[in-house]
Amino acid sequence: MGMGVSGGGRRNSRRSGGGRTPMAEINVTPLVDVMLVLLIIFMVTAPLLKAAVPIELPDSRAKAMNEEQDQITISVQRDGTIYYETEALAPGELTERLASVPDGADGRKPQVTLRADKALDYGRVIDVMGELNHAGFTSISLVTGVSSGSGG
């Protein structure tokens, strides 16, 4: 077998030139490197997976906010179609859907993330925000894209 056994009463097996002893350590550095790369990939792609409704967002230079666990995403497409998470709603169905949302553990309504297409009429966005406010949702975040220009 491939075991290095020192024989013949010799004390130092390095001088013997015989078989090698097996290394009992595992080099975990490559494993850690691969895991860190995978972690970074998942951290970058996870927020992109949440938005399933294709919307062309307006650009902004505002800083990103922290994402809360119990939040609702409302999306309004260019043609005015409203989505609750990823489900398209019929006209007038948003109010019913919002009424069925339970309060959080602190007794407050969850935060709403509103995504509206940049070509959409501003009045339509205000109408949706009014429906949210009427249903008791007072914490509303407007989602924008990232601006690449200097704006000067």
Banded model confidence at residue 150, pLDDT cuts 50, 70, 90: very low
DSSP for 73-95, please give it: EEEE-TT--EEETTEE--TTHHH
Segments making up each domain of the chain, as ranges? 21-49, 54-146
What is the value of pTM for the model shown? 0.53
The CATH number, out of the four listed (3.40.50.150, 3.30.460.80, 3.20.20.70, 3.30.420.270), of the domain defined by the range 54-146:
3.30.420.270
DSSP category for residue 40? H
pLDDT tens digit string along 103-125?
A: 877 778 888 888 888 888 888 88
Report how far residue 141's alpha carbon sits from residue 73's, in angstroms, rounded to the nearest whole number.
Answer: 9
> What is the percent of the chain where pLDDT is above 70?
68
Tokens of 141: 């975040």
Report how far residue 82's alpha carbon sits from residue 85's, in angstroms, rounded to the nearest whole number.
Answer: 9
Please choose, from the candidates 137, 146, 145, the residue with its C-alpha nearest in 3D space to the C-alpha of residue 73: 137
